[in-house]
């Protein structure tokens, strides 16, 4: 497995202080890339009303490409490493995400996620914290099978997208969503964390946080390899800011629906 669990490293103050709908507010935190005034302190996590920017933001970043992605095999929690393209994707995306000046990096403990997080950790100087609740959906007997094999051998389960001996859709949503909420609870107001996870875990966890009913979870499309979504929380309410960012439109190689 690439990378190792660790505690979050030094906090790097992020940018923008925004009012509702993104209008800048006088006296708010500086924009990304602008220095803070000497001695200026970030509001503490214990003081949720301190400062004009009470939001916390999560960049939900899917891992880079693997050989099983290319082959169309259901990966689930099988620990499949990044391929050469996936490593390059992670390096490119890390340069973009580093510009957001993240305060923390939290990753699924599976190797392909930790390897995706590694270039961003090197660029930012932050340690990567591992969280097993960010793992991909456990696919049971489907893991390692192609879509054609699953559809042929398990037609009824395929129609319901219910892997035998695997996790139920709602279970994945609860697990991943709870992990994301827990990460947000540990951030100071105005902070941004990069959360490195997997296609289904990100999509279902985000849908849970957004309060979407289960019959509408399919409205959120799957993520491409090394693409990300951004969620923001203010006053305990979540909002989808971006989805499938970081790439031009391209086919999604994923075992997520």
- Give the catalytic positions in this structure: 63, 136
Give the start-end residues of each E strand in 111-235.
128-130, 192-197, 228-234
Closest by Cα among 44, 87, 45 to 65: 87
Q: How far apart are CA 30 and CA 18, in angstroms?
A: 10
The DSSP 8-state label assigned to residue 237 in this structure reads E
Q: What phi, psi does 15 have (nearest 5°)?
A: -90, -115
Give the position of tokens 């103050």.
13
Angle value at C-alpha 88, between 132 and 67, nearest 5 degrees: 65
CB atoms under 10 Å from CB of 4, counted, come to 11
Evaluate whether 83 touches 250 at the Cβ level (below 8 Å).
no
């Amino acid at each position: 497995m690439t990378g190792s669990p660790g505690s979050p490293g030094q906090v790097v103050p992020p940018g923008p202080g925004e009012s509702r709908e993104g209008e800048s507010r006088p006296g708010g935190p500086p924009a990304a890339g602008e220095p803070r005034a000497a001695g200026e302190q970030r509001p503490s996590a214990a003081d949720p009303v301190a400062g004009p920017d009470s939001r916390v933001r999560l960049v939900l970043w899917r891992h880079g490409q693997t050989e099983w992605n290319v082959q169309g095999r259901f990966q689930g929690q099988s620990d499949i490493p990044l391929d050469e393209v996936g490593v390059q994707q992670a390096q490119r995306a890390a340069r973009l995400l580093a510009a957001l000046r993240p305060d923390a990096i939290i990753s699924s403990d599976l190797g392909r996620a930790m390897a995706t997080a590694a270039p961003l950790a090197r660029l930012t100087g932050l340690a990567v914290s591992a969280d097993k609740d960010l793992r991909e959906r456990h696919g049971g007997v489907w893991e390692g099978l192609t879509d054609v094999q699953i559809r042929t051998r398990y037609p009824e389960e395929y129609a319901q997208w219910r892997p035998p001996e695997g996790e139920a859709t709602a279970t994945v949503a609860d697990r991943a969503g709870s992990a994301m909420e827990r990460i947000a609870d540990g951030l100071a107001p105005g902070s941004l964390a990069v959360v490195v996870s997997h296609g289904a875990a990100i999509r279902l966890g985000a849908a849970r946080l957004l309060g979407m009913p289960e019959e509408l979870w399919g409205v959120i499309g799957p993520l491409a390899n090394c693409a990300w979504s951004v969620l923001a929380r203010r006053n305990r309410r979540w909002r989808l800011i971006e989805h499938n960012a970081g790439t031009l439109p391209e086919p999604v190689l994923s075992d997520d629906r």
